[in-house]
Amino acid sequence: MSAEIQTQMITVEIMGKQYQVPDGMTVISTMWYTGHQLTRGVGCLGGVCGACATVYRNKDDFALKVGLGCQMRVEDGMSFFMTPYYPAAKPNYRIEEIEHPKEELFKYFPEALNCRNCNACNKVCPQDIDIKGAVKDAVKGDFAAAADKALSCVMCGLCVSRCIAEMAPNMIALYARRTWSVFYATKHERLDMQMERIRSGYWNDEWEKIFALDEAGMKEYCKSRR
């Protein structure tokens, strides 16, 4: 006797059109289920790449909400659309040409001083990052604190969509993270040594050996390295 599995169907609205879909799916799987082809706005499916920013409203709720489409379950009555890109200003800088990172922040991001402390960026962030604080730290020249606060930023761009000062807080924090790691972070000698070994081809023979292994050989190899 075969047990019949009942799938509960719910109604969602995607870009203004209603669809019946099985309960329990994420926003992205709902997009696929309803025949939408996603060529942008999907990447890792694990909440890491930030490609799947989604704007939504729940049933009978006026509040506009946001999240990452691969991490959110759709609910009955939910209305949503995906916004994989927000046109943020991206100054073109080369780290190796920067001489004074803290002063040059204002060359590349003069608007960084315009923060009005509205907190909209923090409220919208799906990663719960204090991105407003990171911008403030960067403006104060505390790049270590800015980098620390913005470490889990996935560059989804949602903070850009809400900033009333027309800033891209994520880009300012990224500049602080990049320059902090190059100019101020503690250097780790062993890491530098390994990087140099990779560059000089020290591991090439080992890699060739690994690429030539079949599955059984790979298992043996892994055991031998424990």
What is the binding site for ligand SF4 (CB under 6 A)? Answer: 50, 115-121, 124-125, 127, 129, 131-132, 135, 153-159, 162-165, 167, 169-170
Nearer to ligand FES, 11 or 127 (CB): 127
Shortest Cβ 169–ligand SF4 spacing (Å) = 4
As a whole number of angstroms, the distance between CA 78 and CA 14 comes to: 9
Q: How far is the CB of 9 from ligand FES (least distance, A)?
A: 25
> What's the rounded Cα separation, in Å, for the pair 208 and 221?
13
Looking from the CA of 5 toward its CB, the CA atoms found within 13 Å total 3
- Among ligand FES, ligand SF4, none, the one that 9 touches (CB under a kind-dependent 5 to 8 A) is none
Question: For the residues of 99-132, what is the DSSP string, one character each?
Answer: S-HHHHHHHH-GGGGG-----HHHHH-TT---HH
3-state secondary structure of 51: coil
Choice between 54 and 179, CB closer to ligand FES = 54
- Measured from the CB atom, the residue of 21 and 84 that comes closer to ligand SF4 is 84
Smallest gap from residue 16 Cβ to ligand SF4 (A): 25
- The option from ligand SF4, ligand FES, none interacting with 43 (CB < 5 to 8 A, set by class) reads ligand FES
Which CB atom, from 42 or from 55, has the smaller least distance to ligand FES?
A: 42
Structure tokens at 84: 């994989």
| 118 binds, options ligand SF4, ligand FES, none, Cβ within 5 to 8 A by partner type | ligand SF4
Q: Which does 129 bind (CB under 5 to 8 A by kind): ligand FES, ligand SF4, none?
A: ligand SF4
User: Contact positions toward ligand FES, by CB under 6 A?
Assistant: 42-45, 47-52, 68-70, 154
Strand arrangement of the beta sheet that strand 9-14 belongs to: 17-22, 9-14, 79-82, 53-57, 65-68
State both tokens at 51.
């490609």
**Partner touching 162 among ligand FES, ligand SF4, none, CB below 5 to 8 Å by kind:** ligand SF4
By a kind-dependent CB cut-off of 5 to 8 A, residue 107 interacts, out of ligand SF4, ligand FES, none, with none
Nearest-angstrom CA–CA distance, 110 and 203: 45
Closest approach of ligand FES to the CB of residue 8, in Å: 25
**CA–CA distances in Å: residue 35 to residues 54, 81, 209:** 17, 14, 44
Q: Collect all residues with Cβ–Cβ distance below 8 Å to 31 and sequence separation of at least 6.
A: 14, 38, 69, 82
